[in-house]
Amino acid sequence: MHNFLPIAYFQNQFVPFEDAKISIATHALHYGTGAFGGLRCIADPENPNQYLLFRLDLHCKRLSNSARFLNYDLPASKIQEAIVEFVRKNRPGSSSYIRPFVYTSDLGISPRLHKIEKDFFIYGLELGDYLSPEGVSCRISSWYRQEDRSLPLRGKISGAYITSSLAKTEAVEAGYDEAILMNSQGKICEASGMNVFIVRNGQVITPGPDQDILEGITRGSIITIARDMGLEVIERPVDKSELLIADEVFLSGTAAKITPVKQVENYKLSSDRPITDQLREKITAITENRDPQYKDWVYVISCD
């Protein structure tokens, strides 16, 4: 059961969530011609009248770029302005997840992106831990991540998530918590909605942008934080066998934050995760605006 925030942004105005409805003939519903973002909103631990959004500017920029793939000119500044006002109107009482979405809103039946109406909406819901912070078990999916030459993977295109959905259900129905997909070259790519990191011999390793990953905002933040902590970070192709013998494996994403992996297929991983724990503690402090070094990563919304 989802607890949705009471106010949505829909068709350029704020309306009750239950009134934000689209037609069953909506173009994006049939062709996956939409793109979405997602960011967490938490109440400031030091001031209950303030809300904290992690890397709001990057989230808005990425969604604006995703809209460009749909032939839709939607400035990041407009997205940010709408999200800020959305938070002020809802004033969430607990940790929440905000979902902005751009889509072809026309009622036509021709698959196209030209000469077709587009729109933008925002809704939100209360969200605690998306995955268990104690760690998850993962299956290597039989489904492969798409290639950028067939689908723009630099954007969160809604139609692409059929692969994630297939992989996630396959994993869960086989008794695992999460799926890890390989790319068309047989290298580790990402989880159903998260990036993948491994730790080997003190090095933090993650597939690079050339591996058909989504360039995750949390992923990029972790890379910066790890390097600032003096850790060596390497972006390179990762083999399946490396997951099985890694010292540590973790997933990262807006919803997942940093989630350790405790098992891959039938291989148990160590419960001693010093680097994962350090990074998780650090990013938690940053998102709660308790780390002065990264204060510019946190957008503060005042509701006084």
How confident is the model over 241-276, as pLDDT tens digits? 999 999 999 999 998 789 999 999 999 999 999 999
The verdict on 112 and 13 lying in the same domain is yes
CATH number reported for the structural domain that contains residue 88 in this entry: 3.30.470.10
Q: Is residue 144 part of a domain?
A: yes
Query: Average pLDDT of 106-116?
Result: 95
Q: Are residues 25 and 113 in the same domain?
A: yes
Last residue of one domain, picked from the residues 93, 126, 159? 126
Q: Are residues 43 and 81 in the same domain?
A: yes
**In the structure, what pLDDT confidence band is assigned to residue 304 with cuts at 50, 70 and 90?**
confident
Tell me: the pLDDT tens digits for 277-291?
Answer: 999 999 999 999 999
Burial 261-270 (b: 16+ CB within 10 A, else e): bbbbeeeebe
Q: What is the CATH number of the domain that holds 186?
A: 3.20.10.10
The pair phi, psi for residue 180, each rounded to 5°, is: -120, 125
Do 111 and 159 reside in the same domain of the chain?
Answer: no
Q: Which residues are catalytic?
A: 156
Provide the domain count of the chain.
2
- Verify that 46 and 119 share a domain, yes or no: yes
Q: Which residue has the tokens 């400031």?
A: 44
Range of the domain at 83: 7-126
Per the domain annotation, does 297 fall within a domain?
A: no
pTM of the entire predicted model = 0.95
Q: Is residue 234 part of a domain?
A: yes
Among 104, 126, 148, the domain-final residue is 126
Q: Is residue 131 part of a domain?
A: no
Residue 256: per-residue pLDDT: 79
pLDDT confidence tier of residue 301, bands split at 50, 70 and 90: very high
On whether both 177 and 245 belong to a single domain, the answer is yes
Q: Mark which of 99, 126, 153 sits at the end of a domain.
A: 126
